[in-house]
Amino acid sequence: MTDLFNYQRRTSCEVQVGDTPMGASHPIRLQSMTTTPTADVEASSAQALRLARAGAEYVRLTTQGVREAEALREINARLRGAGCTVPLVADVHFNPHVAEVAALYAEKVRINPGNYIDPARTFRHIEYTGEEYAAELRRLEERFLPLLRLCREHHTALRIGVNHGSLSDRIMSRYGDSPEGMVESCMEFLRACRRERFDDVVISIKASNPVVMVRTVRLLAATMEQEEMAYPLHLGVTEAGEGEDGRIKSALGIGALLMDGLGDTIRVSLSEEPEAEIPVARKLRDYCTARQGHPYIPGRVPAAFDYLRPTRRPTDAAGPVGGGQVPVVISARLDGHCDCNPRFRPDFFYLGSTLPEAVAQELRAADGQAAPSAAAPGYIVDSDAWQPLPRLYPAFSYSRLVELHHCPAPLKFLFLPYMALGEEARACLRRHPEVVVIAQSNHPNRLGEHRALAFELQEEGLRNPVVTFQHYADALPEDFQLHAAADMGALLLDGLSDGLMLFSTAQAPLPAAALDQTAYAILQAARLRMTKTEYISCPGCGRTLYDLPETLRRIKEATAPLAGGGLKIGVMGCIVNGPGEMADADYGYVGAGRGRISLYKGKECVEKNIPEAEAVDKLVALIKRCGDWREE
């Protein structure tokens, strides 16, 4: 049972992968995947060595045919000859025979239940009787058992890797496109492993949407526990993209699970050189596991909270905050400068203990005029500096609750840590529904303490909105992005935060506008507030049929004029991760052959085999033709 307040790793069994075991008491392992054609032994060996030197503890290679599977023998030999013992993982889709060959030469084989036994998905609905469905499961097991026996004979581990977009028509027909369907797709194979008494199994269950990914992994862990299984978990957000967005989306999804003790190995999938993934994964792992042994948090979980199917904590609106409205962004501007990127303009500027004269003049000029535009930001100052001006609101510390009672402001903010939520604070919040709580924490496990505060309010029937205040001393933007997204992941996905306020305490503070952009990127990754175009792009592998990083750059450049409304564009290297993996995308750009691209609208292929040189322009034309091109 997951402790939602106090960090502890889930107990899993040990799985031997070459000479690098995972699970049990072993560290959370880091891995990545080569992007070279696996049949090119020299290039693949060289890249695998670079990944191992970067810190990859497992290296995966695409294995689309027997030729690639047999190439693993020479790649493995070259690495061992160079003194590198990193285990190799064969990535197999569609062909059981290829998996059986790969099991002879790799330390682990990954198969996808959605296309290993069942035919490739066609998005057809098929009606099965109970007897017909049972017959399909028997057929599955009969075809799966030879691989298990080969793996046992050759001491090869197995990864059962379910992807959101590649569920078989059989699973989709019975369970729909749902977490339950993803879990059942996995469990069918796990039950066969248990009946065969084959235990060197690792599971992954991924999606490009972090919300789906987190909920599904939680459900899988709970289902395994019910069936007395403890196989290790591989975590990852597929097609996360690159740059800031790829890091934030990965950290939000993977971090939400690591913080709750789930996960035995991770891969951060970035549309960049694979060596770039390892430092990011290491930072994320180390940050999440550093809370081991922290001081105890005495929280209590409300009976109404469902960890497997969370809904947003019920609140009453306090101005634009809470009550089902999109989460807000508060930007701390203690220097009084409120410049910002209009696309990522905060809802409120927190100015601290001083009201700058320029802001005061702006608000006085608005006094007595018509109601302010919804686009106009609010300003927050400490209670001593507050004046009764439009769009100016006071913030109180928890030690000044008496003053809060006598303040006539229509909207108030209260800085409140969990341990200060005593009876006086509860009474104050009951009396003042116009108060927004700004949750503070200096605890080593700030997720646990923020959760405890939100849950305590819910248990007490207090419906005041909660904005989560997070502060970081990180000097590097990447570290800040990873840490903030990891801390906020579970809070946002569990519906426990009505907004966030990010603050840099570094010796050379990060620019406030960059913090605002990160806040909005976190909300977008959690699918709570869409402010820009999202690119769902795979990291590339040996199947990729074009220069993915360069193509992604050109697509971003061509679609830069799009207004911030959350249009989603999928950029996929090949058909394996094509229409299914783009289930969350509005448009898709998919490698169809060497130098050829197919374009999708949703799951429908609308233009096939376009010359690569023309494909980006045709993608733009398709978006315009469908009426979704809206410039800022």
Tally of structural domains, the chain: 3
How far apart CA 479 and CA 384 sit, in angstroms, is 35
Q: 3-state SS string over 440-463?
A: ECCCCCHHHHHHHHHHHHHHCCCC
Give dist(CA 82, CA 73) in Å, integer: 14
Structural domain contains residue 307: no
DSSP per residue over 361-420, as a string? HHHHHHTTSSPPPTTSPEEEEEGGG--S-TTEEEEEEGGGHHHHHH---SSEEEEEEGGG
Please tell me whether residues 475 and 507 are part of one structural domain: yes
Domain boundary among the residues 491, 525, 559 is at: 525
Can you read off the two tokens belonging to residue 282?
């290491």
8 A C-beta contact, residue 185 and residue 135: no
Whole-number pLDDT of residue 604: 84
Residue 254 included in any domain: yes
**With b meaning 16 or more CB within 10 Å and e meaning fewer, what string describes 75-101?**
bbebbeeeebebbbbbbbbbbeebbbb
pLDDT score recorded for residue 122: 61
Q: Are residues 277 and 345 in the same domain?
A: no
What H or E segment, with its residue span, contains residue 601?
strand 596-601
What's the confidence (pLDDT) of residue 343? Answer: 87
What confidence score (pLDDT) does residue 2 get? 85
Q: Tell which phi-psi region holds residue 83, choosing left (phi > 0), alpha (psi between -120 and 50) or beta.
A: left
The structure tokens 């000029």 sit at 365
Q: Mapping DSSP to helix (H, G, I), strand (E, B) and coil, where does residue 47 land?
A: helix
Dihedral Cα 132, 135, 140, 143, nearest 10 deg: -140
Tokens 């004046």, residue located? 387
- Statement to judge: residues 496 and 361 lie in one domain: yes
Q: Which residues pair with 472 in a beta bridge?
A: 504
Say whether both 441 and 403 belong to one domain: yes
Residues 66 and 108 both lie in one domain: yes
* Residues 516, 518, 519: CA angle, nearest 5 degrees: 65
**Which pair of structure tokens corresponds to residue 149?**
């026996």
Which residues lie below 8 Å from residue 228, measured CB to CB, with a gap of 6+?
none
Coil, helix or strand at residue 62: strand
User: How is residue 348 written in tokens?
Assistant: 């409120």
Note whether 153 and 226 are same-domain residues.
yes
Measured distance CA(480)–CA(284) in Å, rounded: 11
**Mean pLDDT in consecutive groups of 10 residues from the start of the chain, 632 residues:** 93 97 97 95 97 98 95 97 97 92 97 79 74 88 93 97 84 87 94 95 93 96 97 92 92 98 96 94 98 96 96 97 97 93 94 94 77 75 96 96 95 98 97 98 97 98 98 97 98 98 96 96 95 83 78 89 80 68 80 87 87 90 90 72
The pLDDT assigned to 289 comes to 97
Phi, psi of 591, deg, nearest 5: -65, 125
Tokens 């697509």, located at residue: 555
What is the distance between the terminal CA atoms of the chain, rounded to a whole angstrom?
A: 48
**52 phi, psi to nearest 5 deg:** -60, -40
Q: Are residues 512 and 562 in the same domain?
A: no
From 505, 525, 545, the end of a domain falls on 525
| Tokens standing for residue 580 | 């299914």
Structure confidence at residue 165 (pLDDT): 76
What distance in Å separates the CA atoms of residue 500 and residue 202, rounded to the nearest whole number? 36
119/180 same-domain check: yes
CATH of the domain at 502: 3.20.20.70
Residue 297: φ, ψ to 5°: -110, 115
- Smallest CA-to-CA distance from 236 within 260, 218, 215, 263 is with 263
Q: Which residue has the tokens 């809470």?
A: 322
Handedness of CA 231, 234, 235, 239 (dihedral sign): negative
Question: Are residues 191 and 339 both part of a single domain?
Answer: no
Contacts of 449 (CB under 8 A, 6+ apart): 5, 297, 299, 417, 418, 441, 443
Question: Using CA atoms, how far apart are residues 169 and 254, in angstroms rounded to an integer?
Answer: 28
Residues 167 and 70 both lie in one domain = yes
Domain boundary among 468, 502, 525: 525
The H or E element spanning position 593 is: strand 587-593
* Six-digit token string for 420: 């200060």
- Which residue intervals of 421-508 are DSSP H helices? 423-431, 446-459, 477-493
In the numeric block, the tokens 């802001």 are attached to 359
pLDDT of residue 400: 94
Q: What is the DSSP pairing of strand 265-266 with strand 233-235?
A: parallel
- Residue 562 in any domain: the answer is yes
Per-residue pLDDT, 121: 60
What's the rounded Cα separation, in Å, for the pair 139 and 132?
A: 11
pLDDT of residue 405: 93
Q: Residue 511: which H helix or E strand, with range?
A: none
Q: Are 95 and 227 in a shared domain?
A: yes
Domain that holds residue 114: 29-289
Matching residue, tokens 């891995």: 31
Residue 10 forms part of a structural domain: no
Give dist(CA 36, CA 62) in Å, integer: 9
Residue 409 resides in a domain: yes
Point out which residues pair with 163 in neighbouring strands: 206
- CATH number for 43: 3.20.20.20
**Do 241 and 135 share a domain, yes or no?**
yes
Chain centroid to CA 85 = 31
Residue 7 included in any domain? no
Q: At what angle are helices 477-493 and 512-525 packed, to 10 degrees? A: 40
Note the pLDDT of residue 360: 93
CATH of the domain at 600: 3.30.413.10
pLDDT for the residue numbered 574:
72
Burial of 407 (0-12, 13-18, 19+ CB in 10 A): middle
Indicate whether 15 belongs to any domain. Answer: no
Reference 28, options 288, 216, 208, 205; nearest CA is 288
The answer as to whether 9 is a domain residue is no
